[in-house]
Chains A and B, each alone.
Chain A
């Protein structure tokens, strides 16, 4: 740009290039956004699970967003186990109370995907009575927390809430 004044011609050139660039940029968006989850996929992003039939010590494994979710109605002993640890010693420090819904302490809801490389751990197994991942030997306790092995984080707790009578859990 010369100092001797911006001419009308320069303005038209700049406007045309600018408008072309903006148009090209905006028209890319549909081509990017089409790869995001479609409406039917988003419609499945929340599920409701009936847990009224679960006895103490039992677990179910519904599918949510394409992944298994472990819902476990823990025994008193399992809850006690989970709470009777020194949180500071854990690889990923977190109390059991922070991972369950207050008043529904026996219910544990976690995403059944190992935080190491995404395998599905086996229930009621491992050194801590929780889960054991067969891929690389990670041991989770009865709160789904990592205790031993290569996984860096505890099993993820998905957003969930209980119906008023406690018979159904809405996940997502």
Chain B
């Protein structure tokens, strides 16, 4: 399925001067991808599309939004009520952030399951974590912009995390605020940075894909690509599969967008920010809840902040904590169990984060915070004693094995 004719004189003329056609061919068309990628591998492209959706809707919102403490809330309501399709674009942006995180979290868990962080993809993995951190910063600052009660108090609580630092903490917080509380200067700088960060994310995504295309995709067997028998050209095989994934994910997105657009938000954010009155329950957006739970599980301010930071930073050393020579959990019976415990731990911490830090929740939070970190700490030992199941001879062989030498390889494995 050639998308363009390489012998066309115009194509040749342009390509000689700026190799856009060669580049597209090398990275989107003839790029060799393992032939056995399953539907879990769709979430990378879905996350990429969500980034585009966020930037497109965000640029539109910036045309109508007014970043001042007096007018921010009113201008959001202006978008919702007066601007043509403003409600659609704003709900797309608000729910799109959640969809972006859903796609990225599944993408990360998939990488962990199939050992995609292991050599030679450590820098690819790092770039992914950097993207996650940038997304978190961007999402946090974006949530402040509507200037509702949860915006204001979320900003207050999260910026106060820095006050845990000894000696310089208070100065840093004042510097972040541009004053002595969250106020107009804070809103303005958050708006500026919220506009900037998505483009930084784009840059990080570019490096992420560069590293990916340099060492090629991992795959469900975790085996290296040995030759052309193991791969298919990206187009049409994965272009059509990615579009299918995006369409199905679009249905999921649309259900939230059109029928429950406020289900993932907090009611308090429809009340204007009031610096004199804190809402009864302050909770961050759902995608921060596991980290929030870890923060609150530690009964010491500075240690809590450190634990929360460590829960993400520890991902950077995951490639070295995992000492197994086998990548994919498919062939690692013990790691597979641990992986699912880890997934459940993250979900439980999410539930804990949504509930008040008292009574039984405090203890559940502490137990699962412990399990969260233990997952990483036992990995080196697991790699040492675990006996992997026998590996297939190669990617092509594993595909043939699974389909019984028959027709197509990965039907019916719905994501």
Contact = CB atoms under 8 A, between A and B. Distances in A.
A40 B86 CA distance: 13
A79 to B, nearest CB: 43
A29 B60 CA distance: 12
B82 A39 contact: yes
8 contacts: A30-B85, A30-B89, A34-B63, A34-B64, A36-B84, A39-B83, A39-B84, A40-B78
B243 A34 contact: no
Interface in A26-50: 29-31, 33-36, 38-41
Contacts of A33: 84-85
A31 B82 contact: no
Contacts of B49: none
B78 A38 contact: yes
B85 A38 contact: no
B123 interface: no
B215 interface: no
Given A20-B243, A38-B78, A40-B78, A31 B60 contact: yes
Interface string B75-106: 00010011111101100000000000000000
Contacts of B85: 29-31, 33-34
- The size bracket of the interface on A is 10 to 19
B56 interface: yes
What 3 A-B pairs have minimum CB-CB distances, sorted nearest first?
Answer: A30-B85, A38-B82, A40-B82
A31 B64 CA distance: 12
Given A34-B83, A39-B83, 9 more contacts: A29-B85, A34-B84, A34-B89, A38-B64, A38-B78, A38-B83, A38-B86, A39-B84, A40-B82
A25 to B, nearest CB: 15
B84 A30 contact: yes
B408 to A, nearest CB: 15
A39 B78 CA distance: 9
A152 to B, nearest CB: 33
Contacts of A20: 243
A60 B334 CA distance: 86
